[in-house]
Amino acid sequence: MENMPMEVQHHHTAPTGFIRKYIFSVDHKVIGKQYYFLAIFSVFVGMVLSWLVRIHLVWPNLHIWGLGAFSPVGAPGGVMTDAYYLSLLTVHGTLMVFFVLTTAPQAGFGNYALPIQIGAEDMAFPVLNMLSFWVTFLALCSLVATLFVKDGPPISGWTAYPPLSAVGSSAGPGLGMGQNLWAVSIALFCVGSLLGALNFIVTTVDLRCKGMTLMRMPLTCWAWLITAILSLLSFAVLFAACVLLILDRNAGTSFFLPSGLLVSGQLQNHSGGSPLLWQHLFWFFGHPEVYIAIVPGFGVISHVLSVFSRKPVLGYKLVVGCLLSIGFLSFTVWGHHMFLSGMSPYSGFLFSVPTLIITIPATIISLVWLGTVYGGRLRFTTSMMFALGFVSVFVTGGLGGMFLAQPSLDIFLHGTYFVVGHFHMVMGVAAIFGMFAGTYFWYPKMFGRVLNERLGKIHFWITFVGVYCIFMPMHFIGLEGMPRRYSGFVEDSMQHLMPVHTFMTIAALITGATQFIFFFNLFWSMYKGAKATENPWESTTLEWTVPSPPPFDNFGGKVPVVYHDAYEYGDLKNGKDYVMQTDPVGQPANS
């Protein structure tokens, strides 16, 4: 016992019983699916909330069926109040950023596929993995609970700037219990993410099978590793910020509250704090967070484009280098959310430099994608369509960032729909396209069945056109100075833009309705879809060497050995245009 040999992998026996198999499972595949379905639930609710707020902007006096019954305070007679608009907007943002974009791309697909892709039986710490999921689930419960408390969810946005978020209910509805539940939810989410990040890093470093060098890992694994490092470092700061916020709200501290605040006629007792401090702490987390949301998508897209172009990724090492530099730079740019915050204008200049520099690796990656597709033999599966769509929308959204990166232009564009269009394009569209591409790609492996391709294509086409119709016009009205987070538009100068809002709302409703095709496909195919073979996409990586779905220990007790890089696609040899990573015969791997 004292000199226990250092085990690289632990082996566990197959679980029995419903609870151990499906509820409190330590199997990374089950946990990955649990995260994925948590994200599906969250994206559904978040999408419905987006419909509600967009409807309110365009038809503010509409009696929305069911809303009055759901929240008599927030929507008396079914007509949404201005405060409730902000409440629903807050939950929309929080759900989408945290419970969709920070779960499925990383903890969902990553948990499912990472161990198999590197030849491991499971993650390094399976019990910790299970705990991470259930802590995240608790966090979601706390957030959803805000919809059911009397005063509703907080009205302070997903960014929860104090003093609005810190002084309590005298500042507005939802800022009492709702804000407390929100802060608890986020703090719990931080813990779940930190534990998950730890697991991903140790797994990738320690559990790769023989022959799986770091440079032979699929790019998805690199993306998950870098995302995990970003999570480990950034959620730690958000956690501290949430603790301080909770203290300000409940223990009378004043980390974020200066003296002399007069709220609703009441002089507040606080003194000595700074609202800017929250912004620094929040955005130091917040900027890496958006890269946490997109980098897994970079990995999936690089991977999928290669598989369906039948070509290696144009510059594997370059992509790894770009991901690493994007990860590093993401910690240096947080002030670009704060150009107009009142912090020193000299810092404004300082932050805009790395913000513009980060364009370089992002551009290189985009060009690598184009270069990978160039000259290939493209197979237009639904997964590939979403991957191609990702390239398009990421370029569009990313270019919007070039304007916002400059403080001079931010003077006009800050707080307008230009910003809303930009971040929706990169997060609400590109990152989601990454999730779709991943879903259509790994579904056969995960469920042993194939998603219906025809429904998938319909889903893609309407969604692709639809998202441009929803989010491109936001840039246009942003140029006119249309402010964000407004529950209604009363200025004369803004009235001529209302038809644009109507157009966007209708596009959102149509595109949203289309997602039901996806949801239907997702669930129906689990039972009625055609059975999947082991390697339907003729892909080289390790998950395609095991049955669909894999046995509980992934490789059936056999330990894989890797001989090749992850992207050996190309010209036909013996009727095959690809070489499995585990193929002992074939071109020698370049060292």
Residues from 430 through 459 that contact another protein (CB under 8 A):
457
Give the integer Cα–Cα distance in Å for 433 and 298. Answer: 11
| Closest CB to another protein among residues 371, 448 | 371
Window 201 to 220, contacts with another protein (CB under 8 A): 201-202, 205-214
Q: Which of 15, 157, 549, 586 binds another protein (CB under 8 A)?
A: 157
Give the integer Cα–Cα distance in Å for 144 and 563. Answer: 48
Q: Could you tell me the smallest distance in angstroms from the CB atom of residue 62 to another protein? A: 17
Structure-token pair, residue 367: 């060009």
User: Using the 8-state DSSP alphabet, how is residue 267 labeled?
Assistant: E
| Closest CB to another protein among residues 119, 548 | 119
Window 460 to 489, contacts with another protein (CB under 8 A): 461, 464-465, 468, 472, 476-477, 479-481, 483, 485-489
How far, in whole angstroms, is CA 56 from its chain's centroid? 26
Window 352 to 371, contacts with another protein (CB under 8 A): 352-353, 356-357, 359-360, 363-364, 366-368, 370-371
Window 261 to 290, contacts with another protein (CB under 8 A): 261-265, 267, 269-277, 280-281, 284
- Greatest Cα pair distance, the chain, in angstroms, is 82
Binding flag, residue 20, another protein (CB under 8 A) = no
Q: x/- string (CB under 8 A) for another protein, residues 301-340? A: --------xxx--xx--x---------------------x
Best CA proximity match to 219, nearest among 142, 129, 122, 324: 324
Window 66 to 95, contacts with another protein (CB under 8 A): 81-83, 86
Best CA proximity match to 217, nearest among 364, 104, 323, 367: 323
Window 510 to 529, contacts with another protein (CB under 8 A): none
H or E stretch at 266: strand 266-267
Q: Could you tell me the smallest distance in angstroms from the CB atom of residue 340 to another protein? A: 5
Give the integer Cα–Cα distance in Å for 394 and 194. Answer: 27
Window 124 to 143, contacts with another protein (CB under 8 A): 124-125, 128
| Closest CB to another protein among residues 36, 555 | 555
Q: Could you tell me the smallest distance in angstroms from the CB atom of residue 37 to another protein? A: 27
Q: How far apart are the first and last CA of the chain?
A: 39
Q: Could you tell me the smallest distance in angstroms from the CB atom of residue 205 to another protein? A: 6
Q: How many residues does the chain have?
A: 591
Q: Following DSSP, what letter does each residue of 105-169 receive, concatenated?
A: IIIIHHHHHHHHHTT-SS-S-HHHHHHHHHHHHHHHHHHHHTTTSTT-S-SSTTTT-TTTTTS-G
Q: Could you tell me if 482 and 415 are in contact, meaning their C-beta atoms sit under 8 angstroms apart?
A: no
Q: x/- string (CB under 8 A) for another protein, residues 159-178? A: --x-xx--x---xxx-----
Q: x/- string (CB under 8 A) for another protein, residues 102-121? A: ----------------xx--
Q: Following DSSP, what letter does each residue of 34-54 receive, concatenated?
A: HHHHHHHHHHHHHHHHHHHHH
Structure-token pair, residue 438: 């991943």
Binding flag, residue 254, another protein (CB under 8 A) = yes
Q: Following DSSP, what letter does each residue of 386-410 receive, concatenated?
A: HHHHHHHHHHHHHHHHHHHTSHHHH
User: Using the 8-state DSSP alphabet, how is residue 170 labeled?
Assistant: G
Window 568 to 587, contacts with another protein (CB under 8 A): 569-572
Q: Could you tell me the smallest distance in angstroms from the CB atom of residue 523 to another protein? A: 25
Window 413 to 432, contacts with another protein (CB under 8 A): 414-416
H or E stretch at 380: none
Size of site (CB under 8 A) for another protein: 161
Window 378 to 417, contacts with another protein (CB under 8 A): 378-380, 385, 388, 391-392, 395-396, 399, 402-403, 405-409, 411-412, 414-416
Q: Could you tell me the smallest distance in angstroms from the CB atom of residue 350 to another protein? A: 11
